[in-house]
Structure 1
Amino acid sequence: MTNLIEQEPVRPLDGVEMVAAALLAISSDASSRVLKHFDQEELRRLALVASRLGAIPAPVIGEIHELFAEEISGGKLELVGDAVHAEALLARALPEEQVADIMSDVRGGSNAFFWRRLATLPHKTIADYLAQERPQTIAVVIGKLESAAAAQALAELPAATRAQTMRRLLTAKPVSEVVLRIVEGSLRDDLFSGAGAPSSSDASVRVAGIINQLEAEQVNEILYGLDESEPVLAAQLRTLVFSFEDITKLGQRARMIVFDQASTERVILALRGADALLRDAVLPCLSARTRRMVEAELASAVTPPRRDILGAQREIANLVLRLADQGLIDLAGEGQSTE
């Protein structure tokens, strides 16, 4: 391999390439001090150049050594510039998120860090932005956000838009990396300027994860909308959607497992918004002492905010889904009960 490299004609390096090579060669401490003086665009260009340098033979390193005599690592006989080394170079001085942002440009792939950053914005901000976008763009963004953030943004959009977005997520073809890069760039410019393909089943799970964070009324709107256009997908989705009210459909053993792990405080809060049927399904699953405590609290005249009640109900519903994912309970209802 070394012979092949030595036989290749040595291409003269331009100024930016020499800077990139020098920074790759010097110590981490030295390069980190230099990199802090570059702006974001200069870092992008530097990383791109560094990733394309290839193998730099000893004679060229010697020339660079003469030009950048101080701080060069003396033991290196040759140097390789590729995406891995470019990323390591940036990591010497930049936060992980900034490195990922720059390297996503270098590698031409989607940036997972960007989507996590987007999810930290107020959901109203995301929703207001999406309200001005085309349906295809809304579906791409909602599909890339984590479930909780996607659900919060989706809840702010009109019912018709929510239904259409879910329909697109269930039926749309995979989005190419090129399109994702364009969407990411637009979102970055518009929202931060101042501041692999799923199967139909995978898409259903993804959409269910979003829907499971919505209120019951919003869930029903989406499912009824899908009933008209995609009845098969709507039926599939219903098997993955679970709300606090669905606890009555669980078998007795499953309910006991759930409420054995649920916080008493959250159970009390969740049951304040429950009807008699739901309370009757939950209370027998509690220990005698806990049940007395819960019943005493429910008999009081305290009226918590509806948002807090819904939050507690969603928390317990999420607990049910986690236990089901772990195989500890079955969402199939009475069929799982062995009593």
Structure 2
Amino acid sequence: MAAPAKKASTDVESLVATLANRQSETPKGQKQLTGPERAAVLMLALGEQHGAKIWALLDDDELRQLSIVMSTLGTVEANLVENLLLEFVGRLSASGAILGNYDATERLLQQYLPPERVNGIMDEIRGPAGRNMWEKLANVQEEVLANYLKNEYPQTVAVVLSKLQPEHAARVLAILPEDLSLDVVNRMLRMEAVQKEVLERVEQTLRTEFMSSLSQTHRRDAHEVMAEIFNNFDRQTETRFMTSLEEANRESAERIKTLMFTFDDLVRLDSGSAQTLLRNVDKDKLAVALKGASETVREFFLGNMSSRAAKMLVDDMQSMGPVRLRDVDEAQVMLVNMAKDLAAKGEIVISKTRDEELVY
């Protein structure tokens, strides 16, 4: 019995490539499936028990294409599934309809692939975080969204912006061409309840044309990545690289400087944020960091401490004697990283660039 089972599995494996390159030959009046859709139906029909060997043979590009199709397949009628399976594997038939969605796809992939591969594939399928399309859009940078919407019909733009949070919609409107943005504002003012069918069409368009391409092409700005790298250099290394970069590409060097958040930038914290940072930092590390800081930075931190705590810190700094520059750099980087961690948790507020000021 073992040998026939193995042969059947091998035959099925060889069918995936055939499925992906053929159009569905379905009776008139029924939905016609594309090649990738036919392959997705087969894999869903095979399920966890019989599909393992096939999943293991697919490369990343094939996994990605098949997973994307599976996650958007929706419900496939049982008779269409049965016709497809009969066509390719003889007597194999389906017991009912198959539902292809994100959750089913993820559960199936988890049976055969390492968690990191599953997470990467599903992140690419889903695009930015969010349970539905409008939550996903809320996590798309306004410049990216505006660049897409500027080529859409004004009424479509109005529908999309009406579903966003006001602050996000405002930032997108401010970037759109002025004539388009004014048209969109007027349409939003006159807009009545959007029909469900219209909203579904807009969602589907965003999902297939915008989110899918965004998930495949979006990456962080290279200058932002490099600014974070520079933030973690010691002082001498940073100076060496920045000097060379200024000679080779002054524009990039200036942009990286703008995006960097350094120890000196901590003076831009408000009093509440500064005091929160001080409560979390090791006092010995703070003393070392301030030992090599400018007078402005020292006064800022001491000014956000009680008189007694400030005096004790000054005494500690005076008593420790000379400190190696490398130790100072490490302590200052530690404070900067701690500030970023606290900001990520929402416990403090830091401005993102050197030009950004906070108004109270």
* TM-score, normalised with respect to structure 1: 0.46
Structure with greater contact order relative to length (CA < 8 Å, sep ≥ 6): 1
